[in-house]
């Protein structure tokens, strides 16, 4: 089958999990054309280099501007408005290339990416959505999770209009609320091969993943706490007392993560899914203005896998350090899975599209939740 695969470029988690699905599709003999923006383009081009029946096309996507550890809404709007004409020209070039070179996709898969979705709607091609964001609008959440906040309502509305009317929604998650809409299947986090191969061997160090000014501001706090910390994202290297400043290396980070006593990071879904799978207790600090991260953090705390805090300070860190053993015990009961469930769901959906079957309201593949 000829498949067009759209990957959003904001944040690397989308690209990391899309790589797994794309490699599976290629292994199954499908022809895949990928459209992707941002840093994710370089990542997928590198990881998928040399694979047959594949091309990776760069498009221009929406980008976020940050001020410290928070999203700068005004700068985000201004930057995207400034770049809009150039991005539109680039995207039209790729659109013509896909539409006119005879590839003619029979199925579109979108990881929260709009370009491929719009192409599919314009050409009446079925769309399968694979992402973690649709847990917000396609599942039920109680008041303790949503707090009936305006942020929740805004996030729900934004996610709902991102890939509307899809053939089916595969929603990756490490928590499994009740599904409230048909054509929705909950599956475990999609894990890169390096995580699946990693063996959990808890040590004494704590991994910290923060970036820019947030990492710099945290260093004096960590220096006053017991234990040793390995900090990624501080844009420097070296030893400062009980803190090791680490240059980023994928292999080095995974090795530090699998042997960590605990992890401190933002509440991005991909890293959280990896930590839960490996059994690493986690303290999360959701980025302000991103309700999806707050949702992840609240469910993490509810399940006992970790804690969350709106900002990092000495008191919050000490409370978390005192509860690591409790979180570890809760993680021991987590039902771990590889990618078999998700990839089986993908195969079932590809088969349904190939046979021109009606959109299945519920898949036959056993998953973690469905309508």
Report pLDDT digits (tens) over 6-34. Answer: 998 877 899 999 999 999 999 999 999 99
Residue 281 sits in a domain whose CATH number is 3.40.50.2000
Specify the 3-state DSSP secondary structure of 264: strand
Question: Are 100 and 208 in a shared domain?
Answer: no
Identify the pLDDT of residue 93: 63
First to last CA, the chain: 27
Question: Are 145 and 227 in a shared domain?
Answer: no
Mean pLDDT computed over every residue of the chain? 89
Distances (CA, A) of 105 to 94, 201, 351: 14, 45, 15
Question: Are 240 and 164 in a shared domain?
Answer: no
Instruction: In whole angstroms, give the CA distance from residue 262 to residue 320.
Output: 10
- The backbone torsions φ and ψ at residue 254, rounded to the nearest 5 degrees and listed phi first, read -65, -40
Range of the domain at 209: 195-331
The 10s digit of each residue's pLDDT in 182-237 is 999 999 999 999 999 999 999 999 999 987 778 888 999 999 999 999 999 888 89
Distances (CA, A) of 218 to 37, 212, 231, 236, 237: 31, 10, 10, 14, 15
The 10s digit of each residue's pLDDT in 313-351 is 899 999 999 999 999 999 999 999 999 999 999 999 999
Question: Are 263 and 244 in a shared domain?
Answer: yes
% of the chain with per-residue pLDDT over 70: 89
Question: Are 160 and 83 in a shared domain?
Answer: yes
The count of structural domains within the chain is 2
Check if the beta carbon of residue 129 is closer than 8 Å to that of residue 110.
yes
Question: Are 18 and 127 in a shared domain?
Answer: yes
**Side-chain half-sphere exposure of 53, counting CA atoms within 13 A:** 17
Question: Are 236 and 250 in a shared domain?
Answer: yes
Question: Are 177 and 236 in a shared domain?
Answer: no
The 10s digit of each residue's pLDDT in 59-113 is 875 444 344 444 444 443 333 344 444 545 555 566 566 655 778 899 999 999 9
Check if the beta carbon of residue 257 is closer than 8 Å to that of residue 272.
no
Question: Are 51 and 106 in a shared domain?
Answer: yes
Identify the pLDDT of residue 18: 97
Specify the residue for token string 């769309």: 127
Instruction: In whole angstroms, give the CA distance from residue 360 to residue 184.
Output: 9
Instruction: In whole angstroms, give the CA distance from residue 333 to residue 44.
Output: 34
Question: Are 148 and 228 in a shared domain?
Answer: no
Instruction: In whole angstroms, give the CA distance from residue 193 to residue 95.
Output: 32
Specify the 3-state DSSP secondary structure of 149: coil
Specify the 3-state DSSP secondary structure of 320: helix
Question: Are 232 and 273 in a shared domain?
Answer: yes
The 10s digit of each residue's pLDDT in 116-142 is 898 899 889 999 999 999 999 999 999
Question: Are 189 and 206 in a shared domain?
Answer: no
Q: Are strands 184-187 and 205-209 parallel, antiparallel or unpaired?
A: unpaired
Q: Which helix (H) or strand (E) holds 230?
A: strand 228-232
Check if the beta carbon of residue 177 is closer than 8 Å to that of residue 143.
no
Lowest mean pLDDT among 13-22, 35-44, 154-163: 35-44
State the CB neighbour count (10 A cutoff) for residue 241: 11
Contacts of 2 (CB under 8 A, 6+ apart): 30, 31, 33, 103, 104, 105, 106, 107
- For 48-83, letters b (16+ CB in 10 Å) and e give beeeeebbbbbbbbbebebeebeeeeeebeeebeee
Check if the beta carbon of residue 345 is closer than 8 Å to that of residue 186.
no
């Amino acid at each position: 089958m000829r498949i067009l695969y759209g990957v959003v470029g904001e944040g690397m988690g989308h690209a990391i999990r899309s790589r797994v699905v794309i490699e599976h599709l290629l292994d199954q003999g499908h022809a895949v054309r990928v459209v992707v923006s941002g840093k994710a383009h370089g990542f997928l081009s590198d990881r998928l280099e040399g694979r047959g029946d594949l091309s990776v096309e760069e498009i221009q996507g929406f980008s976020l501007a940050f001020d410290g550890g928070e999203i700068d809404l005004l700068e985000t709007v201004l930057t995207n408005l400034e770049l809009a004409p150039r991005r539109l020209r680039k995207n039209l070039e790729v659109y013509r290339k896909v539409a006119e070179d005879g590839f003619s996709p029979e199925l579109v898969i979108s990881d929260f990416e709009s370009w491929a979705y719009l192409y599919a709607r314009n050409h009446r091609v079925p769309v399968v959505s694979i992402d973690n964001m649709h847990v917000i609008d396609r599942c039920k959440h109680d008041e303790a999770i949503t707090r009936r906040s305006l942020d929740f309502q805004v996030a729900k509305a934004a996610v709902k209009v991102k890939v509307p009317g899809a053939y089916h929604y595969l929603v990756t998650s490490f928590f499994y609320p009740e599904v409230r809409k048909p054509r929705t299947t909950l599956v475990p986090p999609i894990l890169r091969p390096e995580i699946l191969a990693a063996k959990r061997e808890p040590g004494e160090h704590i991994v910290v993943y923060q970036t820019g000014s947030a990492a710099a501001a945290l260093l004096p706090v960590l220096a006053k706490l017991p234990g040793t910390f390995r900090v990624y994202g501080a844009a420097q290297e070296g030893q400062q007392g009980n803190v090791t400043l680490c240059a980023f290396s994928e292999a080095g980070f995974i090795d530090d993560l699998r042997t960590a006593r605990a992890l401190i990071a933002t509440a991005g879904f991909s890293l959280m899914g990896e930590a839960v799978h490996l059994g690493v207790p986690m303290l999360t600090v959701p980025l302000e203005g991103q309700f999806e991260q707050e949702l992840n953090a609240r469910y993490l705390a509810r399940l006992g896998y970790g804690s969350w805090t709106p900002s990092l300070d000495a008191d919050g860190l000490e409370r978390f350090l005192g509860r690591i053993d409790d979180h570890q015990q809760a993680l021991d009961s987590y039902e771990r899975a590889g990618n078999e469930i998700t990839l089986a769901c993908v195969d079932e959906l590809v088969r349904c599209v190939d046979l021109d079957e009606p959109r299945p309201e519920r898949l036959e593949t056993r998953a973690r939740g469905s309508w």
